[in-house]
Structure 1
């Protein structure tokens, strides 16, 4: 394909993206100028879907106040990164998380745009299954959060591998365990050590040759991320 034809195709996709975004009254105009960086055609619909979700969340906010934020480079950086991730997001749930996080940055001032960018970066490092596990540990008791657990039962069902397990079960068990470990490594979950009630010292597991731990718990950072992506249950 010639350079001129490539440019024509690119211009067409960009124009189509801007036109689609322009149909969303407020949020669309904020993101339309970013459409030039979202070249792959299949990503245009994702960006439009994200924009509509964002519009739903900021529709009641003062437009003048929000537009004033465009003079802050940290805000425009947050806006651009949110749009970039939205264009790459395959699932509607992920685009919903991104819209919630960005909208929170427009509606309140307790957290700076730089801090929200950090949350956005954390979100980009975990997949949709890990988001579900993070929410699961936010309500660790079986008597709570029944609706969420029922909706995601296929993901949250424990997979235990034994010596007699087939390879698929062993693989799935290892992946499920790694989801939790990854969240721990990012500081979103913690695994407190089990302590001997008599001695006060941590307990050691001779079988695994590691310290015994309690069930994973959501950290303060994990709870903040859940709240800003609209998944804390409140």
Structure 2
């Protein structure tokens, strides 16, 4: 492909995804544009009620400590759609507003996704530097974060950051139909496009006036809050 697009976005992320299916790769490489055309002309067309997103397969991935995380594995049509809607709205995912409230990881630069491993490396380097300069710190994460996000909150978030009404409605339809109408536990794990949603959704925490810490560093749902510079003690 001569220019980067949503199909290439999926293909670049494919080797790093949770449960990569060779069928998805083959369809994206050979008919990705046609599949997206079908999605927008048929699946998301209210005048074509015979077409819809399929209910996705429930599956489980292992986590540290012999825990399992419950998720769904998207079929190729659904997966192409979620990469497409995130890629087309990439300009809405902006950098942090304050140097004291910093998030790392899942966003785009110059039209392409930032390397997650590089972003995580930057996060760890910043943590090491900051820990040496602050007297107190608090760290936490959000338990079963992806499984707890409410369908309608995701849809409202996309509207609030400035996406078109069509994209907002289309994302709502995707979440509703792919999860068989269940409003909770609707966001798939393990693909860059949904990690973008998860990371950006939490910016309301970063920007909250209720936070009284001197500095916040975050990677997805891993938060570090820092208080009181050592040199001021």
Say which structure is richer in helix. 1
- TM (norm. structure 1) is 0.23
The structure with higher relative contact order (CA 8 Å, sep 6+) is: 2
Say which structure is richer in strand. 2
